[in-house]
Amino acid sequence: MRLILLGAPGAGKGTQAEMLTKLYDIPCISTGNIFREHISNNTDLGKQAKAYMDQGQLVPDSLVIELVKSRITQDDCKNGMIFDGFPRTIPQAEALDAMLADLNIPIDYVVNVEVPDELIVDRMAGRTVCPSCGASYHKISKKEDIAGICNACSTNLVQREDDKEETVKKRLEIYHAQTEPLIAHYKAQGKVLDVHGVGTVEEVRAAVKKALGVN
């Protein structure tokens, strides 16, 4: 099974990716991990990627595709793989499609986890963490006993930069502009399974399985 997981940042894709890796016994492909591995092993591709990163530049799509290819041709991908966080743009999707067509292993499905923006903002912007013990809280689902104070160690809770409302909104804007067009791209190929991403982790998990025809 070869899958792409699509969904806005904060839509809960990570949790679903974890479930799917177990369900199909396939790895989750993260470009960040591939980069790190090649760089730490000092491979040719790793050296090329590092040269761009050291200059603060984006690694070009052609090189990203080579790196992804090196990963998905490994043994543990024989049953397939899940792409999470890649492709992010139409040019990347086109390059990935072409590479997979060359290898004769096309994507089977694109699982599109749909969550309204307002809900993502509520979910993320409601989070706080304890900088001392690492406990996490949420203003609705896991409230601390005394406002702003960690239950476990009485430290003042903080909001992570990534969880701040303006940061979340900015990331959503980028997602809508750059990544959301992939839904139409893969709908044209008849590969998109839309999944209602609102509800508990269990409910969304059941919806993902149902969309894939698994009980």
Active-site residues, by number, are: 13, 88, 127, 160, 171
Q: Which C-beta is closer to Zn ion: that of 132 or that of 167?
A: 132
Give the 3-state secondary structure of residue 109. Answer: strand
Q: Which C-beta is closer to Zn ion: that of 74 or that of 136?
A: 136
In this chain, which of 81, 95, 110, 130 binds Zn ion, going by CB under 5 A?
Answer: 130
The answer to whether 153 contacts Zn ion (rule: CB under 5 A) is yes
For strand 28-29 and strand 81-84, is the pairing parallel, antiparallel, or unpaired?
parallel
Q: Which residues contact residue 111 at a Cβ distance below 8 angstroms, ignoring those fewer than 6 apart?
A: 3, 4, 5, 6, 16, 20, 193, 195, 208, 211, 212
Q: Give which of 132, 73, 80, 140 is closest to 111, Cα–Cα.
A: 80
The 182-211 site mask, x for binding Zn ion (CB under 5 A), equals ------------------------------
Beta carbons of 136 and 142 less than 8 angstroms apart: yes
Angle between helices 61-72 and 31-40 (to 10 degrees): 80
Q: Which C-beta is closer to Zn ion: that of 53 or that of 133?
A: 133
Q: Which C-beta is closer to Zn ion: that of 149 or that of 183?
A: 149
Read off the amino acid at residue 39: I
Single out the segment in contact with Zn ion by CB under 5 A; choices: 39-47, 87-95, 124-132, 178-186.
124-132
**Least Å from the CB of residue 159 to Zn ion:** 14
The 89-118 site mask, x for binding Zn ion (CB under 5 A), equals ------------------------------
Neighbours of 99 (CB within 10 A): 15
The size of the interface with Zn ion (CB under 5 A), counted in residues, is: 8
DSSP state of 127: E
In this chain, which of 152, 177, 201, 214 binds Zn ion, going by CB under 5 A?
Answer: 152
Q: Which C-beta is closer to Zn ion: that of 66 or that of 163?
A: 163
Class of residue 16 by CB neighbours under 10 A (exposed 0-12, middle 13-18, buried 19+): buried
Beta carbons of 27 and 1 less than 8 angstroms apart: no
Site for Zn ion in 131-150 (CB under 5 A): 132-133, 135, 150
**Least Å from the CB of residue 57 to Zn ion:** 39
Residue numbers at the binding site for Zn ion (CB under 5 A): 130, 132-133, 135, 150, 152-153, 155
